[in-house]
Amino acid sequence: MAVDMMTLFERRMSYPHPDARDRLARLVGLDTYIERLTKSLGLLVHPGGLKMWGHEFHPGADKIINSVLSRPPLVILGGDVGSGKTELAETIPDAVARQEEIEIDLLPLSLSARGQGKVGEMTQLISAAFDFTVKEASTIERNKEGSEGAVILLVDEADALAQSRETAEMHHEEISGVNAFIRGIDRLASSRLPAAVIMCTNRYDSLDPAVTRRAAEVMAFGRPDADHRRQLLAPRLGELGFDAVDIDAIVEATGPKNGLPGFTYSDLAQRLIPTMVLDAYPEQPITATRALIIAEEMLATPPFADKRTGRR
């Protein structure tokens, strides 16, 4: 079966790119994740920087430097829906490209890689994705400081491709697909090419242990607390003339209540704020009183529930 790379990958994204930098800057409350992930990915795809650091500050400490550089090039971002995982995964390559002064291509893997259930299809598609990643990384020119670029394979909804092989409902084809995924990670690790994999999942616990064990970084994302909700809402509501009391009331209204979770980042930015605007447009201004009513009546996105196990 010939594999169409145009359908296997959703699109190809190149960095640095000003749009990605702007999107990354809008991820309120994720500064710690951004800093840590930028460093980790930078070392995985462009290890020359760490070697230079070691030579300057810890000459002769080859064992500790090599222990960091020998990690498999895999990062897992796990957590609740709407927590910013995918947006971070799609924009963090810009920060890495600027930090390392290299060009980075991001290859978002399409869910079509699951195939249609035909024998051997899922395995072939996943293998093809890693083959293409290896091929692209192999063509990147190198200089005395390392490679001049890198390739990152992005796997969103990763549990659809790398679900634990211990799950009773798994078919042989799905097990073979997970095996192919693990082989792909190991291949990238052994080749030492300027390439890495980012996996995003709402169900970290459902990933195969052999996959999670290979991750150089595992980052868990939660819903914004009151301070982070205020960081996102205050600049926007302040433009409307809302004072601190008004903003605090809305921050409180978007938090956990009646045993239900608080708003996600996407609830705040993509549902609450637009609803306030549309409620007033085009005949009247947005008022603090009406905005608070909207916030109190709106329900947060429910946590992801695994229908097969009932776990959240």
Q: Looking at residue 153, what is its pLDDT?
A: 96
Q: Looking at residue 310, what is its pLDDT?
A: 46
Instruction: State which amino acid sits at residue 74.
Output: L
User: In the chain, where are the structural domains located?
Assistant: 5-221, 226-297
Q: Looking at residue 311, what is its pLDDT?
A: 47
Rounded to whole angstroms, the Cα distance separating 303 from 79 reads: 10
Provide the CATH number for the domain formed by 5-221 in this structure. 3.40.50.300
Q: Looking at residue 309, what is its pLDDT?
A: 44
Q: Looking at residue 81, what is its pLDDT?
A: 84
> Exposed, middle or buried, 260 (CB in 10 Å: 0-12/13-18/19+)?
exposed
The per-residue pLDDT string of the chain (312 residues; one tens digit each, 9 = 90 and over) reads 556 666 788 889 999 999 999 999 988 889 999 999 999 999 999 888 888 899 999 999 999 999 998 999 999 999 888 889 999 999 999 999 999 999 999 999 886 666 555 545 778 888 999 999 999 999 998 876 778 899 999 999 888 888 888 775 677 778 888 999 999 999 999 999 999 999 999 989 999 999 999 999 999 998 999 999 999 999 999 999 999 999 999 999 999 988 889 999 999 999 999 999 999 999 999 999 999 999 999 999 988 665 444 444
Q: Looking at residue 113, what is its pLDDT?
A: 60
- Nearest by Cα to 77 from 156, 12, 22: 156
Strands 149-155 and 13-15: what pairing?
unpaired
- Distance set, CA 87 to CA 47, 112, 225 (Å): 25, 20, 19
pTM confidence score: 0.87
Rounded to whole angstroms, the Cα distance separating 306 from 297 reads: 27
| 3-state SS, residue 172 | helix
